[in-house]
Amino acid sequence: MAKILVLPGDGIGTEVTEVSVKILELLAEEKGIEIETENALFGGSSIDEHGVPVTKDVIEKAKNSDAVLLGAVGGTKWENLKHEIKPESGLLELRKQLDTYANLRPAVVYPALVDASTLKKEIVENVDIMVVRELTGGIYFGTPRGIDNLDDGEQKGVNTLHYKTSEIERVAKMAFEIAGKRNKKVTSIDKSNVLESMVLWRDTVTRVWKENYQDIELEHLYVDNAAMQLIRRPRSFDVMLAGNMFGDIISDEAAQLTGSLGMLPSASIGDKGAIYEPVHGSAPDIAGKDIANPIASVLSTAMMLKYSFNLDGISLEIENSIKTVLDKGFRTADIYEEGKTKVGCREMGELIINELKKNN
């Protein structure tokens, strides 16, 4: 039995998650997959009810689930609250409590949307990249940190980049495992020509590869070169592995190859749990209008089925249903172009579900 905690959150989070939940219900009813879902408040909606963005009870429920499906949090209503009780801090707390050390962000260019990219069609056609970013270590968490007042009246800003071998090993293993399910190549990104912490990164990734994963091709790139090659030869990448800060930047660059925010799923995986969520936020500008693109959420659900439940076949069926709907010319407003059929969030969901039903 797959136990899934559903946290729709705020704004369009609730709209896109509704579509994903319908898909999970379909899988349970018609494909015999044993799924148990439970809904809870999270983010702004939790602040309104409980005064905090995430309650201890919800954290416990998340820990006792096999996976969490999240919508998005935030909105103008909660913008001026103190940092600790803002909706977004609930997200950070959940990630911390589940120790989700690996962030997975696929960047896939769909044939039907190839013209939405800012790069030429010949460059981005068939791009299918998975960025694996270390999420709980590196310079974003390293100490000492802060802004010091110096005796001479100047100030000094300090951050510290450190990684332990165990932190590098576990995320490297994750990247190799994922590459094994894909096109069997890992590009590890570092700055080992300048930073000692990155010498350890490169040595550790190489050792993990030698010990267990020599069937996977391993390439090392300095981060500056990786940023260039990503827009020069994006098709040559399969899995890109990076530390927290470099991964933050590279995953956004990879996403930009594909076009719309409404198409980008993500997963944050750790030993205590996994969170699947669209990359986009709660989009207050379009919330409540039934015009959001639910595909990022549905693709996050497909990732959950693949990475948390090893249901690779069903995951692929969902991805193919989305491709078919796009090939037939249906578009939500964010990816709409002249000559196509504009549909809303719910209708896009129905179209995907109808394609999925055809595979029965």
- Applying CB under 6 A, the residues found at the interface with ligand NAD are 12, 16, 72-75, 88, 91, 261-262, 277, 280-286, 292-293, 296, 334
97 or 197, CB closer to ligand NAD? 97
Distance of CA 192 to the CA centre of its chain: 26
Q: Which is nearer to ligand NAD, 312 or 337 (CB)?
A: 337
Please state the closest distance from residue 217 (CB atom) to ligand NAD, in A: 32
Least Å distance, CB 262 to ligand NAD, is: 3
- β strands within 120-273, DSSP E: 128-134, 146-149, 155-158, 185-190, 217-222, 239-242, 265-269
- Tell me the torsion sign for CA atoms 280, 281, 285, 289: positive
Does residue 192 contact residue 225 with C-beta atoms inside 8 Å?
no
Looking at 224, 271, 312, 327, which residue is catalytic?
224
Residue whose CB is less far from ligand NAD, 20 or 321: 20
Task: Point out the catalytic residue in the list 10, 190, 248, 334.
Answer: 248
Catalytic residue among 101, 110, 191, 213: 191
Token pair in block for residue 202: 């490169």
Q: Which of 252, 323, 336, 342 is catalytic?
A: 252
At residue 233, the 3 state secondary structure works out as coil
Could you tell me the smallest distance in angstroms from the CB atom of residue 261 to ligand NAD? 5
Q: Is 66 a catalytic residue?
A: no
In the complex with ligand NAD, which residue's Cβ is closer, 191 or 331? 331
C-beta of 278: minimal distance to ligand NAD in Å? Answer: 6
**Is 224 one of the catalytic residues?**
yes
Specify whether the CB–CB gap between 23 and 301 falls below 8 A. Answer: yes
Active site residue 140: yes
Residue with tokens 């890992």: 186
What minimum distance in Å lies between the beta carbon of 333 and ligand NAD?
A: 7
Closest to ligand NAD by CB, 26 vs 261, is 261
Q: Is the preceding peptide bond at 111 cis, omega within 30 degrees of 0? A: no
How far lies 284's CA from each of 44, 61, 62, 116, 287, in Å?
A: 12, 28, 26, 23, 5
Q: How many CA atoms lie within 13 A of 53 on its CB side?
A: 24
Q: Which of 22, 31, 61, 140 is catalytic?
A: 140
Catalytic (active-site) positions: 140, 191, 224, 248, 252
